[in-house]
Amino acid sequence: MTDFSAQIETASQILRDASYAIALTGAGISTPSGIPDFRSPGSGLWNQVNPMDVASIIAFRQHPEAFYNWVRPLSKKILDAKPNPAHYALAQLEAAGKLETIITQNIDGLHQAAMSKHVLEVHGHTRSATCVRCYKSFDAEPIMRALMNGDAVPTCDVCGGPLKPDVILFGEQLPVHPLFEARHAAARADVILVVGSSLEVAPISELPLDALNHGAQLIIVNFQPTYLDSRAAVVIHNEVTEVLPEIARRVIAD
């Protein structure tokens, strides 16, 4: 932490002075909770499998069993995961009135578990599932629990169609309302805090750029470099579970 103390203090001061600060979080905030990310070199999930074969809407409609075989171990990790200090730090900033909203690319629900109130899940979530044939909605937790026990592809009790968790697969549009609210928040923000995101997945990766272009300041806390590092007011390439609690402590103590 000593090496980053100056950057942490600068980030804290920016958040103290903010009128409308928001956070954008990616997989890197949840990896300390045991949920693997998708793109880290050597360890990301997409290093192990072609996402278009198992996590695209076209592949799901043709072979839903391939998706469920792939997602089974990930589902167990999500079900078992608990919020970590970085999740709690953002919740504390929100509770203290220093953070207006969290835009998250994650589907794990850990921000809500940490008691964050205004969370925009732009890539969907695992709380519900929908039949891809008749569009009936189901509570997803029993489906995921059954999946852990080795059950086959879950099907609709009305039409027999396969059920898909309400997460966004490749080839699907992002959910309209969270995306609209996320864009609105980015347009209002004078500070955007990026946590654990490589900023590689459009259109969400473009939100910090939009915010920068209307005069917002950018803080990035992420292990890997991003395309906006050169334009950020503060960049900290360190563990989010160490950096975020320290930032929250300094901001709230002010």
Instruction: Give yes or no: residues 19 and 106 share one domain.
Output: yes
Same structural domain, 87 and 157: no
Per-residue pLDDT for 37 more than 80? no
DSSP, res 231: G
What pLDDT is recorded for position 2? 47
- Residue 241's pLDDT is 97
* Mean pLDDT estimate for the chain: 91
Identified catalytic residue from 87, 123, 125, 237:
123
Active site (annotated) includes residue 123 = yes
What lies within 8 Å, CB to CB, of 202 at 6+ separation is: none
Q: What is the pLDDT of residues 2-28, one digit of tens each?
A: 478 999 999 999 999 999 999 999 999
Which of residues 171 and 42 earns the better pLDDT score? 171
Q: Is 16 exposed, middle or buried (0-12, 13-18, 19+ CB in 10 A)?
A: middle
- For residues 157 and 193, membership in a common domain is answered with no
Q: What is the pLDDT of residue 47?
A: 54
How many domains does the chain fold into? 2
Bridge partner list, 120? 103
The pLDDT of residue 38 is above 90: no
pLDDT tens column, 64-122: 999 998 888 888 888 899 999 999 999 999 999 999 999 999 999 999 999 999 999 99
Are 148 and 241 found together in one domain? no
Q: Give the domain CATH number at 96.
A: 3.40.50.1220
pLDDT in tens, 190-221: 999 999 999 998 899 999 999 999 999 999 99
**Same domain for 241 and 190:** yes
Q: With H, G, I as helix, E, B as strand and everything else as coil, classify residue 252.
A: helix
Range of the domain at 145: 38-80+124-167
| Residue 226: per-residue pLDDT | 96
75 shares a domain with 131? yes
Percent of all residues in the chain with a pLDDT value above 70, rounded to a whole number: 94
Is 253 within 8 Å of 96 (Cβ atoms)? no
Question: Tell me, what's the pLDDT at 43?
Answer: 47
Regarding whether 216 and 94 lie in a shared domain, the answer is: yes
pLDDT of residue 41: 54
For residues 138 and 220, state if they share a domain.
Answer: no
Residue pair 243/236 in contact by the 8 Å Cβ criterion: yes
The residue out of 114, 145, 167 marking a domain boundary is 167
Q: What is the pLDDT of residue 185?
A: 97
Cβ-proximal residues to 53 (8 Å cutoff; 6+ apart), any chain: 59, 66
